[in-house]
Structure 1
Amino acid sequence: MVAALTAGVGVTGTASAGAELRWAPCPENAAVECASLAVPIDWDRPQRGSIEIAVARAKATGQREGVLLHLPGGPGGSGVGALVGGGVLTPELAERFDIVSIDPRGTNRSHPVRCPSDVLSQMPDLVPETGGRHAELKAYSRRLGEACRALTGPLIDHVDAVSVARDIDALRAALGERRLSVYGISYGTLTGQMYAERFPHRVRALLLDSVFDHSLPTRRFLATEARAGEDSFAEFVRWCARESSCALHGQDVGEVYTALYQRAVRGELRWPDEPGERLDVLMFVQTAIGRLYGPDWPGLADFLDALTRAPAPTPAPTPAQTAAEATDMPIAAFCGDHDFAIGSQRDWERAWRDMRREAPTVGGHFAWVAVSLCADWPADTGNPQHRTDVDGGPVVLLMNSRFDPATPLEWAESVDRQLDRSFLLTYEGWGHRVYDRSGCTLDATHRYFLDGRLPTHSRCSAVEPTPADTAPAESAASPAPVPGTGW
């Protein structure tokens, strides 16, 4: 650990010696400053070229304590966009800290990984029970990755969370800060763990909110995700049974969902507002799980009800895409952080059955898409799965909902066991993102960042969701042509 840390600091110091952040008002919001930071494409071979990382800063409104770095989820979340859009943390924290955020390398304003839209549109069937073939999937994964490399260049081999962590330390040096306070949400908690692992003594405080566990092998990763989705959906069913305003109140919600799932398997399901477009199995599952992030229970009930009422007309032809069109592909970062080994059709089907067994109603999880598309990804896996090993630094505060459809509580409990110095605060309620769920979670967040004190209790009581909770959490991905980046 000492040797690795010394090497990391040395490279960062060299790369940042002449670095300068030239702040200017952001075009979208003059109250926030924007800048860019040049970093090496490959931190181990900085002479091979550089890219610009987009950075945003909202300066402290009161007596400044230091910098609080916000790490967005995704992969593919825009920290710059979130900060420009009106702030990402509370006014109490914004008073004492410069709130700084980034678009991680390979995403958004930071040289996004780009892939040809025509290749993306040719995605094979990813579902074994609808005829998907593992060999076709692997061939497609490699073809897509090579096509993305042709548009993106060598950066595609260096978009993993360790590379982002090294960018963060270069940013710290450019900001002139000895240490950073860090808040990571969802997939941003993986980056936070990698930063603490490499640069523990550069961390003043680290809050991991909705915790990503980077230690899981393939089948356990998928099974735990499926179980999280199923448990969260069961809470929705209980709400619908007791709430007369639920569009499915009085019905067997599980049966309604299962019937829709089977229609999706048969290719008979269409989007309610776009009846010419087929709604396949994985997009149906992802859309349902996405409604559990808030959670938006009324919206999920309305969505399922609309699907049951909508006819299934003949789909309209899909407009042809030209090879000149390109789409951002943040899932490349996920492939850079995971080495998922599924060697055969039999193993692939077994993994699918594991998911179905853990989620007998919901039927799966969007994580299946991410794992499948990384099946034979040709770029480097720079940061394969491992237990987080942090040697020194502050006590890490972890927060997680009991019913989180994307980052299950058992992940947070696992990371808590991996860290020598940590404290897990469990929110006994629902949804994805915890710190601002209640007065209890807010108080814990403020005490930790402002005063360096840990919570006096390990649990916060649930607060019934309100209409304000219906919007997806910051890190939640909305349905997209390539799903699977919803952390």
Structure 2
Amino acid sequence: MRRGSASGLGVLIAATATLAASAPALAELAPQLDWRPCPENAQVQCATVQVPLDWAQPGGETIEMAVARRPATDPGARIGSLVYMPGGPGGTGVDALLHEQPFSAELASRFDIVSYDPRGFGRSNPLQCDAELVADAPDIRPGGPAQFEEMRRYNRKVADDCRRRTGPIIDHMDTVSVARDIDAFRQALGEQQISLYGISYGTLTGQMYAENFPERVRALALDSVFDHSLDTRAFFTTEAAAAEDSFREFEKWCAQDQQCALHGEDVGAVFDELYKRADSGELHQPGDPGKPIGPVELSSGAFGAFYGPDWQNLAAQLKALRDQEPAPVALAEPETIPYNVAAFCNDWRPEIDSAEQYAEEWRKQNEAAPHMRVGVGGTVAWGCIDWPAQLQNPPHVPQIRTEAPILILNALHDPATGYNWATNVDSQIEQATLLTYDGWGHGVYDRSECTTSAADRYFVDGAVPPEGTHCAAVPPTPDNTIKPYVGW
């Protein structure tokens, strides 16, 4: 499986009230699903659900959401449907089901495992943008007023290009809209309640679903949880701190394990020297001066490796860069999603309006992450500065009032959704219980028998583990790492 402000909250509440008033119209938009074997994998069934482009206008233009299902392997013991909510933003749940069963054999036997491609991605009215324009992003490090204005111009240009190529879907890719799409899917499935599992950015979708449809939640597990309540400074600095924490854990491993290619060396000093070379334009792929590596690219590659974590290959790659020799095993390229920033900008917007303020936020990130300098959020959120569209889902503390208990799972050393995000969200949801995995990486469900069995018992029996439960860390090896990915 592994792979705000008060005024903003008022806007969200007002929009929710408007949409709730028009909910009966949804019945006409949720016909019976026409399940067919998926062309890519006949063991998985595929269909589409018609949903409004703009949920504030349910009788207006519609789009099709691609959905998939793996039927319960023991129909006689079937409990219901379990929705897999992919991360990203922009991860495709249909692909996840096509490629493998994301859950244990027990859950696969008791539930229809269902998922979807979020609006704007995969097979669900995918956003189209100029690939060369997207690849030609400006340097995101502070460089004065001219550089800041260039970032703003670039963001407007990309948004206008995507809108011209794909239409207004770019303005309706927020997680509240995705949550409403999921509820249309629930109706089409004929379920009164559903169980939901969200991974990474999918946990924000899960929170939005629980906030808007609390009575429809049978169970909700939030794995590697996104904290939607943070302001600009807190978001940037906690993301940087999470990346730096993972770097420190990598340093500790290198000091203890002779399999580390940098064992016995000052790993922080090695990385800092590489960063200095990248900053001056002197770092490139070993043996290929035509492929320069910038400082942000260097940091992104490192915390991409922390997702597994893939410490052994990262150490070999850093040594090869330092010595300009071919790496014994090249670090896998991070997975990319076609301009997923567009979706993120529907859920969050940095409150930065000057070069001076941007430089200060960058300085604060550097303080929080003296080696990494920046976190996942800092490499993504800049794309939302001066984004030319209304913020659909302003940051806020979700008001979740489900009768069902909610399970939160998070690693103690997660490079993207830091542990303090998990403790924050746990404190925000009265009926939530946090299970801590005392290890590393992004994604907890299948880390160990302890994490898997706790989640399975919750989904099958509705029983959450005792408050304060910890699952022991499983030391990472090349065999149990995951493909690196930069995002949530």
Q: TM-score, normalised by structure 1?
A: 0.91
Distance in 1 of aligned mates of 2:401 and 2:103 = 28
Contact kept? 1:74, 1:477, Cα under 8 Å: no
Question: Could you tell me which amino acid in structure 2 is paired with residue 370 of structure 1?
Answer: V
In the alignment, the residues of structure 2 paired with residue 447 and residue 118 of structure 1 have an alpha-carbon distance, to the nearest angstrom, of: 47
C-alpha distance in 1, partners of 2:167/2:397?
A: 30
Aligned to 2:63: 51
Aligned equivalent of 1:477 = 485
Q: 2:9 maps to which residue?
A: none
Instruction: Decide whether aligned partners of structure 1 residues 251 and 22 sit closer, same or farther in structure 2, where only a CA change above 3 A counts.
Output: same
Q: Assess, with a 3 A threshold, how the Cα gap between structure 1 residues 436 and 122 changes in structure 2: closer, same or farther.
A: closer
Aligned equivalents of 2:190, 2:286: Cα separation in 1:
52
Other-structure match for 1:482: none
Query: Given the alignment, which residue of 103, 114, 120 partners 2:117?
Result: 103
Does the alignment pair 1:32 with 2:44?
yes
Once residues 254 and 11 of structure 1 are traced to their aligned partners in structure 2, the CA distance between those partners, rounded to angstroms, is 56
- Looking at structure 2, the residues matched to 144 and 86 of structure 1 have their Cα atoms a distance apart, in angstroms, of 34
Question: Residue 16 in 1 paired to residue 16 in 2?
Answer: no
Separation (CA, whole Å) in 1 of partners of 2:469 and 2:305? 27
Give the letter aligned to residue 360 of structure 1.
P
State the secondary structure of the residue aligned to 1:25: strand
2:235 matched residue in structure 1: 221
Find 1:331's aligned residue among 317, 333, 341. Answer: 341
1:228-243 → structure 2 map (5 Å cutoff): 228-243=242-257
The equivalent residue for 1:299 is 313
Aligned residue for 2:432? 422
Q: Is the 8 A contact 1:285 1:366 kept in 2?
A: no
| Alpha-carbon offset, residue 8 of structure 1 | 4.3
Aligned partner of residue 454 in structure 2, secondary structure: helix
- The yes-or-no answer on 1:176 pairing with 2:190 is yes
| Cα distance, 1:132–1:6 mapped onto 2, change above 3 Å | closer
State the Cα distance separating 1:140 from its structure 2 match.
Answer: 1.3
Secondary structure class of the residue paired with 2:129:
strand
Distance 1:241 1:417, change over 3 A: same
Partner of 2:88: 74
Displacement of 1:273: 7.7
**Distance in 2 between the 1:238 and 1:384 partners?**
39
Deviations 1:149-179 (A, max 9, x none): 1011011110000000000000000000000
Indicate the SS of the match to 1:351: helix
Shift of 1:6: 7.0
1:350 to 345, 360, 369: 360
Amino acid at match of 2:473: A
The one-letter code sitting in structure 1 at the alignment partner of 2:451 is T
Matched to 1:291, the amino acid is: A
SS in structure 1 at match of 2:386: coil
Deviations 1:255-306 (A, max 9, x none): 1100111111111222348642221121111110010011111011111112
Q: Which amino acid aligns with 2:427?
A: R
Q: Determine the structure 1 residue equivalent to 2:334.
A: none
Give the aligned residue type for 1:124: P
Structure 2 SS opposite 1:115: coil
The match for 2:458 is 448
Secondary structure at 1:303's aligned position in 2? helix
**C-alpha deviation, 1:147, in angstroms:** 1.1
Task: Give the secondary structure class of the aligned counterpart of 2:409.
Answer: strand
Deviation at 1:116, TM superposition (A): 1.2
Q: Distance in 1 between matches of 2:392 and 2:145?
A: 33
Pick the aligned partner of 1:204 from 218, 224, 227.
Answer: 218
Residue of structure 1 in register with 2:156 after alignment: 142
Could you tell me which runs of 5 or more consecutive residues in structure 2 were left unpaired when the two chains were aligned. 1-11, 327-336
Q: What corresponds to 1:321 in structure 2?
A: none
Q: Distance in 1 between matches of 2:135 and 2:314?
A: 27
Task: Provide the rounded CA distance (Å) in 2 between the counterparts of 1:432 and 1:356.
Answer: 22
Picking from 34, 49, 53, the partner of 1:41 is 53
The amino acid that maps onto 2:440 is W
Cα distance in structure 1, aligned partners of 2:475 and 2:378: 30
Determine what percentage of the aligned residue pairs are the same residue: 49
1:4 positional shift:
7.2
Structure 2 CA distance for aligned equivalents of residues 273 and 42 of structure 1: 51
Tell me, in whole angstroms, the C-alpha distance in 1 between the residues paired with 2:126 and 2:286.
32
Q: For 2:464, what is the secondary structure of its paired residue?
A: coil
User: How many positions carry a matched residue from both structures?
Assistant: 463
Q: CA RMSD in A?
A: 2.0
Contact 1:70 1:100 in 2 (8 A): yes
Structure 2 matches for 1:106-117, cutoff 5 A? Answer: 106-117=120-131
Would the aligned equivalents of 2:243 and 2:376 in 1 still touch at CA under 8 Å? no
Q: Which residue does 1:462 correspond to in 2?
A: 473
Mapped partners of 1:251, 1:203: distance in 2:
51
> Are the structure 2 counterparts of residues 105 and 360 from structure 1 closer, same or farther at C-alpha, using a change threshold of 3 Å?
same
Residue 307 of structure 1 aligns to a residue whose secondary structure is: helix
Shift of 1:136: 1.5
Amino acid at match of 1:282: V
**What is the distance in 2 between the residues matched to 1:346 and 1:179?**
49
Residue type matched to 2:184 in 1?
A
* Residue 348 of structure 1, CA deviation: 0.3
What is the aligned partner in structure 1 of residue 396 from structure 2?
A: 386
1:257 matches 2:271 = yes
Q: Does 1:431 align with 2:441?
A: yes
1:247 maps to: 261
CA distance in 2 between partners of 1:418 and 1:171 (Å): 27
- Residue 420 of structure 2, aligned match among 404, 410, 414: 410
Q: Is the 8 A contact 1:196 1:393 kept in 2?
A: no
Equivalent-residue separation in structure 1 for 2:305 and 2:270 (angstroms)? 16
Q: Closer, same or farther in 2 for the Cα pair 1:183/1:273, shift >3 Å?
A: farther
Shift of 1:366: 3.0
Cα deviation, 1:400-430, whole Å, max 9, x if unaligned, reads 0000000001001111111121101111111
Preserved CA contact (<8 Å) 1:12 1:166: no
The corresponding residue for 2:332 is none
